[in-house]
Amino acid sequence: MINLSFLQDFPKDFNFGVATSSYQIEGTMYGNCGKSIWDDFAERKLNGIDGKLACNHIEYFKEDIKLIKDAGFKAYRFSFAWPRLFPDNNKDVNLKGVDFYKQLLEEINNCDLEAFPTIYHWDLPIRFQKIKGWEDQETCKHFGELSFFISKTFGDQFEKISTINEPWCVSWLSHYLGEHAPGIKNIQSAAKTMHNILFAHSQSVEALRSCNDHQIGIVLNNQFGQPINNNEENIQATKLFDEIHNRWFSDAIFKGKYPELALSILEKYLPENYKTQLELISSPIDWIGLNYYTRSLIKYKKSDDGVNYECNSGTLKKTDMGWEFYPEGLSYFIKRINKEYDNNIPIYITENGMANNDKLSLGNSIQDHDRIEFFNVHLKEVLNCVNEKLPVKGYFAWSLLDNYEWAFGYSKRFGLVFTDFQNFKRIPKNSYYEFQKYLK
């Protein structure tokens, strides 16, 4: 029987937590929240399926924090919604928004959980899209101001903070592949945002350092790329995939440069002073967050813009997203960060989890056995790394609740806790109880 009994073998100070994000759970119709690029994208591209209600976390947050506490987790990773704090412009703060995050942080701390806030998890106020959003460095400067505000207003309630969640998704997925808001498909926009989102990170780090004594990180989503076979052109294509998806961000942050192959395609679209800005981008951080889900099989495919690859899925067991179980990739990236980038930096697995087609069965139980297996195989990789004395300090399951899974709306369930979207009832799944059994 697959279980999580080996959680007890982790060191006592290892930080187990759960993660969520603002737009995915809060509900934008509550508390004077302003509109974001996701409201606009949902209206244009997703038949209006948006985060208006989501999990109504705004009203249910105390219940949600209690669920985290009762499972025995020690940390909670969440994000601030920029349009909730500044709905109409960059000056007038929404007191209801401030009040919400103050209450949330108070509740987290009263429950002896460690708060791990993220400043940006994709809900950019729609007003910025009028100046081309992340394509314009004005947005980055405002992001620095937002970071300062957050640190000054809430900074006594947490030690660790991350600037940006998954810069690859903010840039490539949203401006080249067009799958996320604002839904642009254009290499020039993609290249600009690949750089600007890192510049925004640097503005945030500078603002946070000027204000408080936080331990600052950034959260990168790494995906393992494997050539579909050993043909030389597929091996090269995989190198390019890895540079665009992964190394672009880690090379910039830890080495102050961009990787060669990707740069040879994207450099012509970058601002002239990008090298000077890379100096700021690579200013030291205190920890790194790694989100990990799956691998892709990479095949050469000619494209006019030079992005000569396509991603395929293999034959391993898959989640409801169609993503293969490939736990070896998680330890691969932990080791790579440690060996190739910084052999001291504390690493937190800030997201890992799976979508499953969960159904309520008789007696309100949810038998998400596959999810327990997913956590089992991935957490074993993490434990091996800990035993090899790699500086992995924590692991956050994605996600506490079934929530708004972006372009998939409410159809993909990632939660340890089932959300009934009709009445906001929360029903812990078997995977929740499995963590509880060994963490409590």
How far, in Å, CA of 296 to CA of 54, rounded?
30
Host H or E run for residue 296 = strand 287-300
CB of 221 to ligand IFM, least distance (A): 6
In 3-74, DSSP assigns E strands to 15-19
Residues that bind ligand IFM (CB under 6 A): 21, 24, 166, 291, 351, 398, 405, 414
CB nearer to ligand IFM: give 21 or 94: 21
CB of 279 to ligand IFM, least distance (A): 29
CB nearer to ligand IFM: give 147 or 403: 403
CB of 399 to ligand IFM, least distance (A): 7
CB of 351 to ligand IFM, least distance (A): 5
According to DSSP, the residues that pair with 120 across neighbouring strands are 164
CB of 125 to ligand IFM, least distance (A): 18
CB nearer to ligand IFM: give 277 or 350: 350
CB nearer to ligand IFM: give 233 or 405: 405
Of the residues 26, 107, 135, 166, only one is catalytic, namely 166
Q: Transcribe 383-434 into DSSP letters.
A: HHHHHTT--EEEEEEE-SB----GGGTTS----SEEEETTTTEEEE-HHHHH
CB nearer to ligand IFM: give 249 or 258: 249
Q: Which of 252, 250, 288 is nearest to 270 (CA)?
A: 252
CB of 79 to ligand IFM, least distance (A): 9
CB nearer to ligand IFM: give 212 or 294: 294
Q: Is the dihedral of CA 132, 188, 259, 240 positive or negative?
A: positive
CB nearer to ligand IFM: give 142 or 180: 180
What are the φ/ψ torsions at residue 133 (nearest 5 degrees)?
50, -125
CB of 267 to ligand IFM, least distance (A): 28
How far, in Å, CA of 101 to CA of 284, rounded?
28
Of the residues 135, 351, 381, 434, only one is catalytic, namely 351
The two counts, helices (H) then strands (E), for the chain are: 16, 11
Q: Which of 160, 127, 192, 105 is nearest to 396 (CA)?
A: 160
How far, in Å, CA of 255 to CA of 243, rounded?
14
Mode of pairing for the β-strands spanning 287-300 and 309-312: antiparallel
Per DSSP, helices labelled H in 243-343 are: 248-255, 260-266, 274-281, 328-336
Q: Which two tokens stand for residue 303?
A: 């494209």
CB of 355 to ligand IFM, least distance (A): 7
- What is the maximum span of the chain, computed from C-alpha positions, in angstroms? 63
Place of tokens 């990787």: 259
What are the φ/ψ torsions at residue 127 (nearest 5 degrees)?
-60, -30
381 in catalytic set? no
CA angle, residues 72, 285, 400, in degrees to nearest 5 = 25
Host H or E run for residue 292 = strand 287-300
- 26-62 core/surface letters (b: 16 or more CB in 10 A; e: else): bbbebbebbbbbbbbbbeebbeeebbeebbbbbebbe
166 in catalytic set? yes
CB nearer to ligand IFM: give 24 or 193: 24
The residues assigned a catalytic role are 166, 351
